[in-house]
Amino acid sequence: MDIYSLIKQDHQRVIELFGLLDALEIAAAERTRLFKTLKQELTVHKEAEENTFYAALSDLPEMTDRIEESLEEHVDIEELLEELDDLDSESDAFIAQLRELKEEVEHHVDEEEGVIFPIARELLTPAEADRIAQAMQEERSRLTA
C-alpha cells in the first residue's frame, strides 16, 4: 500500500468515529469510549504522519509552507482533544467542542488529500511513496505497542 492510501485509511477511520459520535441516542459511556478511541487514533496518526510523511516532504522547498501549515493544524487538533478530555461527554460544551474538532479535522483532511497529495505525487517517486508508507506503518506499530 502506498502512503496516500495508508493515510486515507487513517482519515476514513477518524471520519467514521465522528459519524458514530454524532448519533443522538448514544449513551454517555459509549460516547466516552468512542471519544477515547478517536483521541488515540488522531494522536497516533498525527505522530506517525509527522515523523514519516511530513518529515520526508519538509525537505522539499515546494512543500515547506504547506507542511508548516499542516503542523499548525495538528497542534490545534491536539489542543481541542485536550480540552475535550476535560469536559463531561454529556455536556453541551463537549458537543460544541466536538463539532469544532470535526470541522478542524475535515479541513485538515481536505487540505492534505486535495492539496498536499497531488503535489507529493509529483515530487516523490512511487518507490519513495512505498518506503514512506512502510516507515509510517512501523511508526504506527511502535506508537500503539
Residues near Fe ion (CB under 5 A): 112
Nearer to Fe ion, 91 or 144 (CB): 144
Query: Cβ 73 to Fe ion, closest distance in Å?
Result: 9
Nearer to Fe ion, 6 or 21 (CB): 6
Q: H or E segment at 129?
A: helix 126-144
Read off the C-alpha cell for 59.
525537505
> If we measure between CA atoms, which residue out of 13, 14, 6 comes closest to residue 136?
6
Report CA-CA distances (Å) from 140 to 44, 86, 122: 6, 26, 25
Closest CB 11 distance from Fe ion, rounded Å: 6
Residue number, 84 or 136, with CB nearest to Fe ion:
136
Q: How far is CA 64 from the centre of its chain?
A: 19
Minimum Å gap between C-beta 142 and Fe ion is: 18
